Amino acid sequence: MEAKSLTMSSSSLHLFQVLLFPLSILLLMSNMQKISAAATTKANSTGTYKNFIKTACNTTRYPKECNKALSPYASTIKTDPQKLCDTALSLTLNATCNTSSSIESLSKMKGLSPSETEIIRDCSETVGDAIDKLTDSLKAMARAQGSKRRTEMGNVRTWVSAALTNEYTCTDEFEGQKVSKAVKNTMKKSVMYLTKMTSNCLALLNLLDY
Ligand SMILES: *[C@@H]1O[C@H](CO)[C@@H](O)[C@H](O)[C@H]1NC(C)=O
Ligand SMILES: *[C@@H]1O[C@H](CO)[C@@H](O)[C@H](O)[C@H]1NC(C)=O
Ligand SMILES: *[C@@H]1O[C@H](CO)[C@@H](O)[C@H](O)[C@H]1NC(C)=O
Ligand SMILES: *[C@@H]1O[C@H](CO)[C@@H](O)[C@H](O)[C@H]1NC(C)=O
């Protein structure tokens, strides 16, 4: 019973994100432009850059995680939405690689139950797939110039979105099962952080004009 409701709530959240997200983005894009414009007229400062990231992150589902991950890169990102997305994507890919190695160590743990072994194997596969999609996205992002921009950025969004869907199948699977504390803790720390980063990355991509 409980397992079922957990799975359902996570997919309805996902649905919410897909359906309602564009609305909030429209509202917040004007805000971003204002901040961008302010930055070009006033002297630039770290404060301005951090504020830009904060406002952009405010459009995501996990603003706190978004801000914490991106604000160390404020001096690189400045007030450039494209740089913001490049950095978010690169961080998401790096987090995915980290998750992959956490899952790898988990799979070597002794005393795993057959269902835990199965969940870990499935997650390893879906996270591996996410790495491929995010790697392709990062390459497409680098190519997204001039007349190719629209197509490439469309691809990036499709792939990042697919990576997120993959990651959700992993969290849904382990949330719905009885797993040991050790397995659950690793998964929580690693895969859930990853889904947050990916979800945020997708939201930031939606802020780009192309
Ligand atoms: C502030 O940053 C913007 C964009 O990053 C840049 O176009 C502008 O020239 C900068 N202004 C100053 C005063 O450095
Ligand atoms: C974030 O959004 C909330 C409401 O959506 C708003 O009240 C708040 O001022 C925003 N914060 C920033 C830093 O933009
Ligand atoms: C991601 O990892 C690569 C390789 O380890 C590194 O060069 C890059 O700077 C990292 N990305 C970010 C945004 O820190
Ligand atoms: C990946 O793991 C390394 C080493 O634990 C850590 O320094 C880094 O911040 C992690 N990267 C991300 C994006 O979580």
Name the superfamily (CATH) of residues 79-205.
Invertase/pectin methylesterase inhibitor family protein (1.20.140.40)
pLDDT for residue 12: 56
**Closest to 100 in 3D by CA, of 150, 163, 57, 47:** 163
- pLDDT tier, 67 (very low <50, low <70, confident <90, very high otherwise): very high
Q: State the Cα–Cα distance between residues 35 and 151, nearest whole angstrom.
A: 28
Q: Whose CA is nearest to atom 8 of ligand 1?
A: 40
Domain ranges of the chain: 79-205
Give 7: exposed, middle or buried? Use CB within 10 Å, 0-12, 13-18, 19+.
Answer: middle
* DSSP secondary structure of 147-181: GGHHHHHHHHHHHHHHHHHHHHHHHHHHHTS---H
* Whole-structure pTM value: 0.78
* DSSP secondary structure of 181-201: HHHHHHHIIIIIHHHHHHHHH
54 Cβ closer than 6 Å to some ligand 2 atom:
yes
- pLDDT tier, 2 (very low <50, low <70, confident <90, very high otherwise): very low
87 Cβ closer than 6 Å to some ligand 3 atom:
yes
Q: Which two tokens stand for residue 205?
A: 């991509």
90 Cβ closer than 6 Å to some ligand 3 atom:
yes
Summarize pLDDT for 191-202 with one digit per residue, the tens. 999 999 999 999
Listed in sequence order, the residues at least 6 apart from 126 whose beta carbon sits closer than 8 Å to its beta carbon are: 166, 167, 169, 170
